[in-house]
């Protein structure tokens, strides 16, 4: 039975333009979305990304620039979309939390949770990190009393009247979810989530007073309050999914998130959904962080690189390949421009590009009719190459493809078709090699979509003609 799949990335704060630290998650989710479209049809797959535009962080960023908040988030959202488009991300919708449909859905969601008895009025006194847009306990701060993720920001002390969500009520449900086989991946992330539950989940404020923070969705039960940014932002997935028939029991819902926001997705979001009686996510995949040459990427360090800057220099598929194969799929990774260039020359220029060029040249010179080829039809062996997508290990899928490519290159070197005089033998050897490059090309789509199309254009006809140089050496 064909299944439906909803795939999401975290939506990025609109306080500043995204950098390469944000790029990995988009490319990872995109590869999975393209794979799902191959096996289940594009009509059964939805993929949403976007920008998180409410909250203190975005309002302060606008004030710092001396412009209206709406104008600021419009500008950042537009730039973020361009950065994501530069990576050839095939989203179905770029959602913004300032979109009118989302504001309505978020307000309705809040009201339903309130009507079900899970939101109540109370007073909050405690700590808040504006960088995370989240409430903190003392155990979540470092020895200097700072948020471990935002050490340059001062922790805020708040005392205010809010509405609270009965998060603690769902502790048992959440523990069962976390312990289930595929709810949180990789498995190593379960321990951290269980620790948070076992330390005692506390009810959480889900509104802020409007006089302190006017930039947000007005609370539907009290117009003196706005909905807390995390409660608002998480609902974006449901906004898109529910409006596209992708939030039901027939749909697999997969969230890709970074480890810094895993708690909100693994523990708060399912509790919110349970509160209103909606389907829970199927899987939340938590990836690590990218560091650049041993340092955290940040403006203060001066090491911010935009995705488009890499794409303009190395090409979109080279950037996609590098992050998909060497990104933080399980743990944090350290990247560098030098490593990217080494990978480009070694695995793309000398690897895929050179092998494709060699076979195309040999096939063209031979004058042999290799028959037309259908790149859209997949055999069981083709699909088997994608097996590790089941565990979202895109890096291992690519590794296996490159092993297949390496074997093909070895076959060329051992058989030396350029030396073969016997036409029957030459046809036998080249037919195998052309067939192998065609089969490899079929499964490149989720990872290198542009390159796949270029190779298809060379090898889809009976008589093969050499195409462009796929990856010119640097």
Which among 129, 255, 287, 442 is annotated as catalytic? 129
Q: Taking the alpha carbons of 67, 70, 71, 75 in that order, is the dihedral positive or negative?
A: positive
Neighbours of 470 (CB within 10 A): 22
**Contact residues for 379 (Cβ-Cβ < 8 A; gap 6+):** none
Q: Distance (Å, rounded) from C-alpha 36 to C-alpha 458?
A: 26
301 annotated active-site: no
**Contact residues for 23 (Cβ-Cβ < 8 A; gap 6+):** 83, 87, 307, 319, 323
Which among 60, 111, 150, 461 is annotated as catalytic? 150
219 annotated active-site: no
Per DSSP, what are the bridge partners of residue 119? 165
Which among 4, 19, 103, 255 is annotated as catalytic? 19
129 annotated active-site: yes
H/E stretch holding 310 reads: helix 307-314
Give Dmax (Cα) for the chain.
87
Which among 147, 219, 255, 442 is annotated as catalytic? 147
H/E stretch holding 460 reads: none
Which among 63, 71, 212, 299 is annotated as catalytic? 299
Q: Where are the alpha helices (DSSP H) in 165-235?
A: 171-179, 190-198, 229-234
- Helix/strand/coil for 285: strand
255 annotated active-site: no
454 annotated active-site: no
Which among 4, 22, 26, 306 is annotated as catalytic? 22
Which among 26, 132, 265, 306 is annotated as catalytic? 132
Backbone φ and ψ of 245, nearest 5°? 55, 40
22 annotated active-site: yes
150 annotated active-site: yes
296 annotated active-site: yes
Contact 189, 259 (CB under 8 A): yes
Instruction: Tell me which residues are annotated as active site.
Output: 19, 22, 129, 132, 147, 150, 296, 299
């Amino acid at each position: 039975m064909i299944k439906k799949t909803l795939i999401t990335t975290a939506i990025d704060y609109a306080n500043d333009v995204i950098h390469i630290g944000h790029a990995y998650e988009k490319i990872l989710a995109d590869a999975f979305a393209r794979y799902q479209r191959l096996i289940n049809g594009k009509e059964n797959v939805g993929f949403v990304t976007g920008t998180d535009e409410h909250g203190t962080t975005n309002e302060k960023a606008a004030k710092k620039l001396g412009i209206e908040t709406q104008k600021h988030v419009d500008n950042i959202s537009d730039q973020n979309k361009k950065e994501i488009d530069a990576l050839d991300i095939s989203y179905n919708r770029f959602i913004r939390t300032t979109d009118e449909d989302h504001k309505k859905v978020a307000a309705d969601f809040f009201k339903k949770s309130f009507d079900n008895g899970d939101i109540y009025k109370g007073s909050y006194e405690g700590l808040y990190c504006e960088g995370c847009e989240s409430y903190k306990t003392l155990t979540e701060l470092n020895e200097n009393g700072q948020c471990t993720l935002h050490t340059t920001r001062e922790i805020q002390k708040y005392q205010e009247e809010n509405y609270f969500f009965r998060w603690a009520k769902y502790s048992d449900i959440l523990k069962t979810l976390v312990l289930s086989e595929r709810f949180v991946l990789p498995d190593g992330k379960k321990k951290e989530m269980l620790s948070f539950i076992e330390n005692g989940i506390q009810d959480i404020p889900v509104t802020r007073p409007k006089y302190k923070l006017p930039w947000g969705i007005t609370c539907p039960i009290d117009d003196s309050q706005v909905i807390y940014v995390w409660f608002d932002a998480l609902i974006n997935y449901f906004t898109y999914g529910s409006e596209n028939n992708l939030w039901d029991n027939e749909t697999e819902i997969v969230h890709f998130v970074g480890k810094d926001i895993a708690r909100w997705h693994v523990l708060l979001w399912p509790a919110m959904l349970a509160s209103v009686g909606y389907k829970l996510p199927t899987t939340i995949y938590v990836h690590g962080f990218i560091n650049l040459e041993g340092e955290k990427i940040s403006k203060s360090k001066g090491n911010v690189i935009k995705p488009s800057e890499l794409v303009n220099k190395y090409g979109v598929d080279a950037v996609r390949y590098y992050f998909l194969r060497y990104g933080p799929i399980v743990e944090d990774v350290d990247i560098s421009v030098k490593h990217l260039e080494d990978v480009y020359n070694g695995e793309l220029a000398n690897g895929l590009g050179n092998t494709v060029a060699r076979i195309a040249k040999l096939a063209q010179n031979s004058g042999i009719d290799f028959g037309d080829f259908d790149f859209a039809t997949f055999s069981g062996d083709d699909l088997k190459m994608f097996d590790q997508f089941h565990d979202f290990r895109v890096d291992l899928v690519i590794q296996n493809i490159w092993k297949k490519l390496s074997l093909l290159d070895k076959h060329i070197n051992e058989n030396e078709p350029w030396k073969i005089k016997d036409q029957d033998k030459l046809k036998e050897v080249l037919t195998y090699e052309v067939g192998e490059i065609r089969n490899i090309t079929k499964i490149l789509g989720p990872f290198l979509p542009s390159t796949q199309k270029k190779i298809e254009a060379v090898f889809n006809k009976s008589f093969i003609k050499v195409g462009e140089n796929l990856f010119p050496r640097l």
